Amino acid sequence: MKGVLFDLDGIVTDTATYHFSAWSRLIKDEFGLTLPEIVEERTKGVSREDSLRIILEELNLSVDKDRFQYLTNRKNQCYIESLNQLTSEDILPGIFKLIKELKQKGIKIALASASHNGPFILEKIGLIDSFDTIVDPEKLSRGKPDPEIFEVASAQLGLAPKDCVGIEDSIAGIKAINSAGSCSIGVGDDKLSEAFQRVTSTKELSVTLLQESWNNFVNDKL
């Protein structure tokens, strides 16, 4: 194992509730509608643009290109306002220690998140300098479950995907890691059954667990 590719929401910190709150506020203000809770799960780990497409489909709404852009921008403004309260206290359990140990062992780490606010969030929680590289989702042509983001993350680290472990909490993310050819670690319940290794909490993550999972992953490929 030479590199670890981190998702952001639900892995490093948890801003998923902020996302859903921002979308809910937007839809209420713009359309006078209530966003069903199922949307929170469907948009988990998905880009802002794809999330809006899911929401419009769910609510049987259609908008033109200009309105679509306006809605994504307005949602982001609502979201960023809520992020200003983030601090290092919002790093999920076990993650600070894991990143510290990875750095000590010379294992490179990348952020592979669909969030356009990844750098801002990492700065707010004090981890911006810990990451060797951050994938810019603006430069991607396809979102998760397409493997592009993890392929780009490993390439930016100067590594092959097979030499990396990816950590995700969404089904789309796990599918993307698997398709990229990396070892997938899922954090969550058994809906992440496609993950090569699954834990129920970030507290269970450790360098030892990642290394052993990657070793088993490589051996299974032989």
Residue in this structure with the two tokens 């600070």, named with its chain if needed: 96
Residue 156: which region, alpha, beta or left (left: phi > 0; alpha: psi -120 to 50)?
alpha
The pLDDT value given to residue 49: 92
Provide the token pair at 155: 């390439």
Residues of the chain with CATH 1.10.150.240: 16-83
Residues of the chain with CATH 3.40.50.1000: 3-14+88-221
pTM comes to 0.83
Sequential pLDDT tens for the chain (222 residues): 999 999 999 999 988 788 888 999 999 999 999 999 888 888 877 888 999 999 999 999 999 999 999 999 999 999 888 888 899 999 999 999 999 999 999 999 999 998 888 999 999 999 999 999 999 999 999 989 999 999 999 999 999 999 999 999 999 999 999 999 999 999 999 999 999 999 999 999 999 999 999 999 999 987
Q: Which fold has domain 16-83?
A: DNA polymerase; domain 1 (1.10.150)
* 66 counts as catalytic: no
The pLDDT value given to residue 18: 87
Distance CA 184, CA 198 (A): 8
So what's the architecture of 3-14+88-221 in CATH? 3-Layer(aba) Sandwich (3.40)
Q: How open is the CA angle 185-191-193, to the nearest 5 degrees?
A: 50
**DSSP assignment letter at 92:** P
b/e map of 183-192 (b: 16 or more CB within 10 Å)? Answer: bbbbbbeeeb
Catalytic-role residue among 7, 14, 29, 64? 7
Provide the token pair at 164: 């990396």
Catalytic-role residue among 9, 29, 132, 190? 9
Distance CA 209, CA 78 (A): 38
Neighbours of 36 (CB within 10 A): 12
Peptide bond preceding 137 in cis form (omega within 30 of 0): no
The pLDDT value given to residue 44: 79
* 190 counts as catalytic: no
The pLDDT value given to residue 63: 95
